Amino acid sequence: MKDKFKSLFSPFTFPNGVTLKNRIVIAPMTHWSSNPDGSVSEIELKYYARRSAGVSAVITACAYVTPNGKAFHGQFAADRDEMIPGLRKVATAIQQQGAKAILQIHHGGRLCPPELVPDGDIVSASAVPAERPGAETPRSLTIQEIEEIIDAFGEATRRAIEAGFDGVEIHGANGYLIHQFFSPHSNRREDQYGGTLEKRMSFPLEIIKKVKSVVDQHAKSPFIVGYRFSPEEPETPGITMADTLVFVDVLANQGLDYLHVSLNDFRSTPRVGVEDFTKTRIEYLLETINGRVPLIGVGSIITADDAKEALETGVDLIAIGREMIVDPDWVQKIQEGREDEISIVIFTDQQEELIIPDGLWEQIISRPGWFPVKER
């Protein structure tokens, strides 16, 4: 490989002692390809295996932790013990290629389609619909239900441990339930889970505490626990960069193995809530974290030079999403000095060659601009 890319391939060790072989991980990406009952399909296993050889870790698509948390058709489940054998196959498919396997655990909250949850009963922090066409008004969760969902994140973690995963990532980003509790748009509660900024942190912090306690109880070897968050949201009122910096300051002291910021572009700058809008979100986050916990950066990393630039911001790891679907050999090509051969477009006859499940392929083809798609 070229000397300028050597930093991408230096090992990295998490606070718990688990070492990754390089700085490149696969970002969690929905693939719409599990069986209708939430069990793992054969095409999923092939999809993950095809993309796991070069990277140091794979963060899976999100797995729902309760039946009323399913947010996608073709989403896989971690809500009951009969899912463990399938989850074990996912972990094994990834690990056999030399990467660590991290299961992302999730509840969709108000973004769940009614047809995917029992009795169409959509729940959230408060009875406030999302700002999008046709959004359902959710039901506000009771205190008992909140406690049950916190326990469910713990149980999903236990299943991940029993299935042989190397870690879990708590999905607190992208508008789903944990995000909904932190957001002043979706959380209008006046109890211990809402009102002030500090109370809006309670739900995610209790989930982290529960997950870590389950790891302490059940994991026989070091087990990674990460947390993903979105730094801002467009709604008014909504999460601001200032809110997130307060939250991240607290998250950095929770004994997590990493934080993972969800961004469309690692170069992006804040919308509101800071004094200097020329500084990037990554710069603000790294200043706040101040070395207390590793940070994964993601967003618009397409070329080897993008990856080098992203790592040079000071993040510890970089997560590659769409590009690992476009070119599953992305990492190996950089490692072998063939970065000029990296594919940056998908051709319409490549589904089988790239091992892209039907559900994901349909989304790629039907959403112009999401992926760079061309006909030959």
Which pLDDT tens digit goes with each residue over 49-60?
Answer: 999 999 999 999
Burial of 340 (C-beta count, 10 Å sphere; 0-12/13-18/19+):
exposed
pLDDT of residue 328: 98
Count the neighbouring beta carbons within 10 Å of the beta carbon of residue 353.
11
206: closest CA among 218, 192, 191?
192
Residue 248 scores a pLDDT above 90: yes
Q: 48: which 2 tokens?
A: 């993950």
Q: Are the CB atoms for 280 and 268 separated by under 8 Å?
A: yes
Q: What percent of the chain has pLDDT over 90?
A: 99
Confidence of residue 376 (pLDDT cuts 50, 70, 90): confident
DSSP letter assigned to residue 2: -
Cβ neighbors of 82 (< 8 A, separation 6 or more) are: none
CA-CA distance, 60 to 105, in Å (whole number)?
9
CATH architecture of 3-344: Alpha-Beta Barrel (3.20)
* Axis-axis angle for helices 143-162, 84-95 (nearest 10): 50
Domain range annotation of the chain? 3-344
Cβ neighbors of 363 (< 8 A, separation 6 or more) are: 32, 370
pLDDT of residue 156: 99
pLDDT digits (tens, 9 = 90+) for 158-211: 999 999 999 999 999 999 999 999 999 999 999 999 999 999 999 999 999 999
139: closest CA among 155, 156, 125?
125
Q: 115: which 2 tokens?
A: 């047809």
Residue 292 scores a pLDDT above 90: yes
User: Checking DSSP bridges between strand 167-172 and strand 139-140, what pairing results, if any?
Assistant: unpaired
69: closest CA among 109, 17, 129, 11?
109
For every residue of 36-103, DSSP letters joined together read TTSPPPHHHHHHHHHHSSSSSEEEEEEEESSGGG--STT--B-SSGGGHHHHHHHHHHHHTTT-EEEE
Question: Which residues are catalytic, by number?
Answer: 176
pLDDT of residue 216: 98
Q: Write down the mean pLDDT value for the chain.
A: 97
Count the neighbouring beta carbons within 10 Å of the beta carbon of residue 237.
13
266: closest CA among 301, 241, 303?
301
